[in-house]
Amino acid sequence: MVDENSNSAEWSLTLVRSGGYKIDNELNDALFLYGRTSKEILLSKKNNFKQHLPNGVIHLLEKSNLTDLALETGFVVNISINKKNNNIESGWEKFEKVITSSLKNNSPLQLDEAIWGVYSLFEGDRCFEMIGITPEKLPSNVWIEVKPLDLKTLAWVISQDNILTSDDKEQKSLDDFFELNLSELSRSYLTLPGPSNCRNSFLN
């Protein structure tokens, strides 16, 4: 069980727009590099590990009116196991764990096998996946908010060659032009990291 008074009670993930379709410039087509630190983002870039956003994160961006900004540059996902104010003015939303399983990991986090869980929006059907970073159990509930990149992080992103892109990097198929979009079945979606004792700042 995660100690809510420990350093792992709150953590963040930074996402940088790095390609994807130009069709309508929609969030569900965009690709993002991501990491808890700048080193992890560079590792994602090195391994060409880009992901689409799960609908739970898209919901938060739409609710916070950050869609256009996310498509242009990127954003930060803040995650907490501490209870947050869930009213309309607050950017926080509660998600509940609905399933847990062991998963062979395919990510730049260098974990051979980890605990994986699906979290669903409290009183809703938007969801995302989370992967355990430590041996601790994944929390039963998490509160999530999204924020714009701060100026220091944005400056770092701009200073890196070929990280911030919005060009068409993904191969289209005939499925993309049919009403039944079968390509959705093979898409790879962002998995959020679980609690971590890593307290380093993003630009470490």
Residue with tokens 């609690």: 195
pLDDT of 24 > 80? The answer is no
Q: How confident is the model at residue 52 (pLDDT cuts 50, 70, 90)?
A: very high
pLDDT on residue 204? 65
| Residue 154 phi, psi (nearest 5) | -60, -40
Residue closest to 16 by CA, chosen among 185, 197, 122, 166:
166
59-63, 65-69, 135-139, 172-176: segment of lowest average pLDDT: 172-176
3-state secondary structure string across the chain: CCCCCCHHHEEEEEEEEEEECCCCCCCCCEEEEEECCHHHHHHHHHCCCCEECCHHHHHHHHHCCCHHHHHHCEEEEEEECCCCCCCCCCCCEEEEEEEEEEEECCCCCCCCEEEEEEEEECCCCCEEEEECCCCCCCCCEEEEEEECCCHHHHHHHHHCCCCCECCCCCCCCHHHHCCCCHHHHHCCECEEECCCCCCCCCCC
Q: How confident is the model at residue 186 (pLDDT cuts 50, 70, 90)?
A: low
Average pLDDT, the chain: 80
pLDDT of 168 > 60? The answer is no
pLDDT of 199 > 60? The answer is no
Please, are residues 139 and 2 in contact by the beta-carbon 8 Å criterion?
Answer: yes
Q: How confident is the model at residue 149 (pLDDT cuts 50, 70, 90)?
A: very high
Residue closest to 60 by CA, chosen among 72, 75, 38:
75
State what percent of residues in the chain have pLDDT above 90. Answer: 48
Domain ranges of the chain: 10-93+143-193
- Whether the predicted model's global pTM rises above the 0.85 cut: no
pLDDT of 130 > 60? The answer is yes
pLDDT on residue 162? 78
pLDDT of 34 > 70? The answer is yes
